[in-house]
Amino acid sequence: MTATLSGKRILIAEDNEWIAAGLLEAINGCDGIALGPAQTVTAALALIHELPDGAILDANLLDGPITPVARALLDKFVPVVVFTGLGLPADLQEAHSNIRVILKPAPSLTVIQALADRMTLARNGNSSKGGPSYFL
């Protein structure tokens, strides 16, 4: 199944320029609108005012863990996928154990598909139960 984002606004919080560029290209290729990329928590928090429909977050940005951004998005019921090499920060995992996590390295389209699936679940009123879902 090929992901389609059909004009959905996707926040990218990623401090690695190469990874961010790949995600940007994949979002555009799936007819989405990229917000960012934000390399810092501060910049990512500012992008939340752009009303994203979904978000791809690295677990750690230049100025610290992504926890405040993830919490702000989840409080607004915005579907989130964390794309990281380290896993979730402990406090975020404890408070929001159902966050989908994709471990780096992985193809950008894999990340986009996971987010599109998460967005479909949110639209249908379903959410993942249990611990974080890790994909290699």
* Rounded Cα gap, residues 103 and 29, in angstroms: 22
For 5-57, write each residue's pLDDT tens digit.
999 999 999 999 999 999 999 999 999 999 999 999 999 999 999 999 999 99
Number of neighbours of residue 134 by Cβ within 10 angstroms: 13
Element (H, E) at 118: helix 108-123
How far CA 130 is from CA of 3, 36, 81, 114, 116, in Å, comes to: 25, 30, 15, 17, 20
For 73-84, write each residue's pLDDT tens digit.
999 999 999 999
Among 90-94, 98-102, 103-107, 124-128, the range scoring the smallest mean pLDDT is 124-128
- The model's pTM: 0.88
Could you say which DSSP state residue 49 is in?
Answer: G
CATH number of the structural domain 9-135:
3.40.50.2300
**What share of the chain in percent tops pLDDT 70?**
90
Give me the residue spans of the domains in the chain.
9-135
